[in-house]
Structure 1
Amino acid sequence: MEEEPPHPEDAPTVESAREEPPEAHPWLALGEVTAINLAVWLYDRTIGQKEWSRVTVDSWARNLRTGFVWDADDFSANQFAHPYHGGLYYTAARDNGLPFVACLPFTLLGSAQWELFAETEPPSTNDLINTSIGGMAMGEVLYRLSSMVLDTEATGSERFARELLGAALSPVRGFNRLVRGDSFRQEPRPADWTPREFAGWGTLGYLNLGNGNLLREPKNQFFAQLSLRYGNAFTGDLRHPFDAFEGHVQFTTRENSLISHARLSGVLVAQSLRRSDTDSLRLGLFQQLSYVDTLAYEVGGQSLAAVLMQQHQLSRHTLLKSSLGLEGHILMGISSEHSGSEGRNYDYGPGVGLEARLIYGRESWDIITLELGVARVVILDGSGGTHQVHTGRLLMDFPVVDRLGLGTELNVFQRFSRFDHFPDVKKETYELRVFLSIH
């Protein structure tokens, strides 16, 4: 349960404890966005020897005439690598004093620069959306995590290690800190670099994927997953976008695809509807980035969601959390038998969905989690039609001793596809996991 804040007469106010907003430098941010593109293009052109990087004035003119199209790149490049690249543009603006919303034009501009002038291939509509919107979510999360690592009061080897790890999490910020001399300067550490609540945990185990009609036989893999919860979306003090967010990333032993699951969900704005000693009811607007790439199916993209959240304190240490979210999918990629694009096995389109979640937990430990979701995606680029997706998730992670837990998880996926010019398709599969957890 969230601790009560100190009495105003006994402690500094929330505002005085926060980092002073830095002076905004939009022109410097613009220069850094352009420099990022130049640096990556130079690497691809010289060391990478990428054929598509051999741009000319003629290719620029051709791209401007052609305009934006849908590309056929693989799922991981479009749905994960591009949001990460967009996070670099976002950080260039964020670290130069721009607030969250004001960073969007810079991520859009950085993506448009790259699409029009750094590749000989036609500029891509899906890249522009995934890079700019996904880049804001990924960039802000990594920026805040780097703040947690940094300590401006530390010295010596500890300071060096913290600055190095912070730069690994948020490279553009790390570069800027080095250039400005912040990496060496000793000064009071801003209080809001550390959230009032934070939980991180890891799981390591074995999964069995398949036996539904998406796979001919089950596929067995080992996996490792890192999860975190920053702030408290249900009861926390939320003043800025992403003052509370959750995320996880899963790695598997599957060949040619290191990351199989990833998700970020951050609160943009929230309004408290009811609050008592044991209950909290709140309505929040979330930004979400999702990514699932398994042997059986692919699905993921950029979304906004209006979520009604309730938390009920069962006892001093146990609580029940529930939420119901109405999702607006800005752009989703989803597996398809008839994508309409050579070399691409998924469709693109917007959609709507519902997601319900129920969690029984002990303090920051989620012991039982039940999630149900449904989404309907209209195909914008592909063979035409719609996809309806049903998902379910049941996770049980029981404490064993100290911070060690033992658990199991079942994920269910169903897809019902109606194509304009092909027969309807119904696909389903499951993923069963057993794991050890460390909290």
Structure 2
Amino acid sequence: MKPLKVGIAGLGTVGAGVMKLLAAQADLIAARAGRPVVVTAVSARDRNRDRGVKLDGLNWYDDAVGLAHDPAVDVVVELIGGAEGKAKALAEAAIAAGKTLVTANKALLAVHGVALAKAAEANNVTIAYEAAVAGGIPVIKALREGMAANQVSRVAGILNGTCNYILTVMREEGRDFADVLADAQRLGYAEADPSFDLDGVDAAHKLAILAGLAFGARIDFSSVHIEGIRRISGIDIAFAQELGYRIKLLGIAEKTEAGISLRVHPAMVPMEQPIATIDGVFNAVLMDGDFAGPVLLRGRGAGEGPTASAVVADLIDFARGIHVPVWGMAESALEEARLVPMSELNSAYFLRLSVVDQPGVLADVTAILRDHGISLESMLQRGRAPGEAVPIVLVTHETTEAAVSAALARVGTLPAVLEPPALIRIEPK
């Protein structure tokens, strides 16, 4: 049987992992693919670096775009990363050359996915990207194929293992953010520059892809509301525990009659919800279909093995001749949905204030909330320290983001309020 010939661009952790997996599981993969899957060409920045894999006899390209024009390559695997530059050029060249494209590049798909899908259809080729979202969790196949008969109304989950690890350790060990981040970097769970993770951008890229698939819609990445975890403190986590919640960085995509809402931010998740129990570097995605009901997938969201596993799963599909539209339907069938602004969100809120402990402070705060139509469910204050700073926690009933934002802008100007108020949205029980 004629082998499927693969060219890999990018020989970092994932690229080397794909080569190791193809070698270690060669017989199993050939049996499941119906033919051998072999690497014939590679591209990377440094020819001399030891990656723990054999590169003898492979075509080497200093310029990754050369893979797209190599007659000994059937499938191009793009593992360079980034929405622009070499990754985008290679993806476009592979499609133009009629090559199947496998990618783990969430930024590329979140920003240019619709345009690439249109080009792929015009050239009668397929793009697969199981590895772009949630590593070893088969969430793309679940949404695009397993849930294909459903109207999906909501996709939500923990989409970044670095943030989940940091929040978990802060809760379990009572340590502060900076200390845990340093540990995460030492252990390899966080990059030297962890901004994309900590500021929510990585999760937002993944959410945009999931939303496009779930709702059959053209998603403008700039419409995703993005917040990270840098402002989450140990005191927030302690109060959350006391109130029966755990703080998680969530990506949430919802489709209602008003349109599509896309947001990434820390959230208070009730402890009884399954997603609240997902700790450490694990990811989880919850999908809600009208016939299937809620489906929860959990697993390792990154790393050499899980991500390589997802890449090779796509290669096996191609070897078998399985071709699915990039977004689950023709690009021309994708919906132009209204994107709901964050100001229209309805939610309950956890508000934490640091105030001078003096008479009348709480009355001033509650008067401002009342003026904006915000009612309180509960209030927590620990101890008294007249004239000193104390934390006050207010839990609101459901209200609008616009009302809370306007109220907190006024609260922050009160002389007794010592720092900008903290806000965390509360997931329903």
TM interval, short-chain normalised: under 0.3
Greater relative contact order structure (CA < 8 Å, 6+ sep): 2
TM-score relative to the length of structure 2: 0.24
The structure whose residues are more often helix, as a share, is 2
Report the structure number with the largest CA radius of gyration.
Answer: 2
